[in-house]
């Protein structure tokens, strides 16, 4: 975790700083914290069908265009598309005061059959305020229903987040709800 006095998104220098950081968890060793599952049906726009809605959300997930930019700024390292091993450097905060931390993608899936699903899972890296993992997925079932599924398992990763757990948890849940609304089309998209 690093305190940054800039509202800008992290750049290539942040990638170099975090790329070799170790994971904080294998997700099996979490002793406390929460395991959350959030789902929302995707709103299909008037100019698209279920397949187009699925493809739209899939593209956003693999570009990590998940959280509102006023909430979270990021850089994907080393390529702009999510793939296994990708590091995502994140900056969260208010105004010019941001907390920088990073995560590493450990699993990516993209299946195309009767039921389609695409997404990825990441784990936090050493220095992240939380310790755990999260996944972001879009699904389209045989009936044509498209939904977003976000899962997270985490516990406090630093003394600061352990002491401020109620506040940190509120921020975490709020960010997840904002991401769910953004991806499902029920919230701000810009």
Per-residue model confidence as pLDDT tens digits over 135-174: 999 999 989 999 999 998 888 777 777 777 777 778 778 8
Does any domain span residue 76?
yes
* Cα–Cα dist 68/76, whole Å: 16
CATH of the domain at 137: 3.30.530.20
Does any domain span residue 190?
no
| CB contact at 8 A, 64 and 77 | no
Q: Mean pLDDT, to the nearest integer, of 17-44?
A: 79
Higher pLDDT, 86 or 26: 86
Q: What pLDDT does residue 187 have?
A: 63
Closest listed residue to residue 144, CA positions, set 54, 60, 56, 55: 54
Does any domain span residue 189?
no
* The total number of structural domains that make up the chain: 1
pLDDT band at 9 (very low <50, low <70, confident <90, very high): confident
pLDDT band at 39 (very low <50, low <70, confident <90, very high): very high
- pLDDT at residue 190 tops 50: no
| CB contact at 8 A, 45 and 53 | yes
pLDDT band at 94 (very low <50, low <70, confident <90, very high): confident
Domain that holds residue 16: 2-184
DSSP symbols for 14-41: HHHHHTTPPBS--SSS--SSEEEEEEEE
């Amino acid at each position: 975790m690093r305190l940054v006095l800039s509202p800008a998104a992290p750049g290539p220098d942040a990638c170099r700083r975090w790329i070799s950081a170790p994971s904080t968890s294998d997700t099996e060793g979490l002793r406390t914290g929460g395991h959350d599952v959030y789902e929302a049906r995707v709103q299909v726009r008037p100019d698209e069908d279920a397949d187009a809605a699925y493809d739209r959300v899939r593209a956003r997930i693999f570009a990590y265009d998940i959280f509102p930019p006023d909430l979270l700024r990021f850089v994907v390292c080393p390529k702009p598309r999510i793939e296994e091993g990708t590091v995502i450097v994140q900056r969260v905060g208010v105004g010019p005061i941001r907390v920088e931390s990073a995560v590493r993608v450990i699993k990516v899936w993209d299946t195309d059959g009767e039921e389609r699903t695409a997404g990825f899972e990441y784990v936090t890296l050493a220095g992240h305020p939380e310790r755990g993992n999260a996944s972001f997925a879009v699904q389209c079932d045989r009936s044509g229903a498209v939904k977003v599924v976000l899962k997270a398992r985490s516990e406090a990763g630093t003394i600061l987040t352990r002491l401020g757990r109620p506040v940190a948890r509120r921020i975490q849940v709020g960010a997840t709800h904002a991401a769910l609304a953004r991806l499902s089309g029920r919230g701000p998209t810009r």
